[in-house]
């Protein structure tokens, strides 16, 4: 069993399904509010190591969905600044486990925690795609 620190948007159905998968796999999930966490640029950047800047963004964020923000056109420093101002832009969940961290549910350490290497799209896509903008956190 591993303790998984899981930064989520409270009330997000997709995050709820992801936490359930981790719990069912025998892990202790410590959920934290991604939106109220006191992030620093350096700390946030660690979750994105080795991934392209566009993948740091939550594609379901209202500002991304509307086209106001185009992740493919933003450089790393500007991306972090935007995310510190508006945490809804951050790809969720942010995961810490076993000394590793990541953004999203489709890379390490998540794959090892679930002992899967298959497609996890079914637990990454928004459970309420018709909701635009994304519903407010509960």
Q: What is the pLDDT of residues 28-75, one digit of tens each?
A: 999 999 999 999 999 999 999 999 999 999 999 999 999 999 999 999
The 10 Å Cβ neighbour count of residue 40 is: 10
Residue with tokens 């991304």: 64
Instruction: For residue 71, give Cα distances in angstroms to 39, 75, 82, 91.
Output: 20, 8, 11, 11
pTM of the model: 0.83
Residue 121, sorted as left (phi over 0), alpha (psi -120 to 50) or beta, turns out to be: alpha
* CA–CA distance, 43 with 20 (Å, rounded to integer): 26
Active-site choice (12, 101, 102, 134) = 12
The pLDDT value recorded for residue 128 is 53
The 10 Å Cβ neighbour count of residue 6 is: 23
The pLDDT value recorded for residue 1 is 85
pLDDT at 133 over 80: no
Is 12 labeled as catalytic in the residue annotation? yes
Q: Which parts of 25-109 fold into alpha helices (H)?
A: 41-45, 62-65, 76-85
């Amino acid at each position: 069993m591993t303790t998984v620190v899981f930064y989520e948007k409270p009330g997000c159905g997709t995050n709820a399904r992801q936490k359930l998968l981790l719990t069912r796999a025998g892990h202790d999930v410590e959920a934290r509010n991604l939106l109220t966490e006191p992030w620093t640029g350096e700390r946030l950047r660690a979750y994105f190591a080795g991934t392209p800047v566009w993948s740091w963004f939550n594609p379901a964020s209202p500002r991304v969905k509307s086209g106001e923000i185009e992740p493919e056109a933003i450089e790393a420093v500007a991306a972090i600044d935007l995310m510190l101002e508006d945490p809804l832009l951050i790809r969720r969940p942010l995961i810490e486990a076993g000394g590793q961290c990541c953004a999203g549910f489709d890379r390490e350490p998540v794959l090892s925690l679930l002992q899967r290497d298959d497609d996890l799209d079914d637990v990454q896509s928004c459970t309420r795609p018709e909701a635009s903008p994304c519903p407010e956190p509960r």
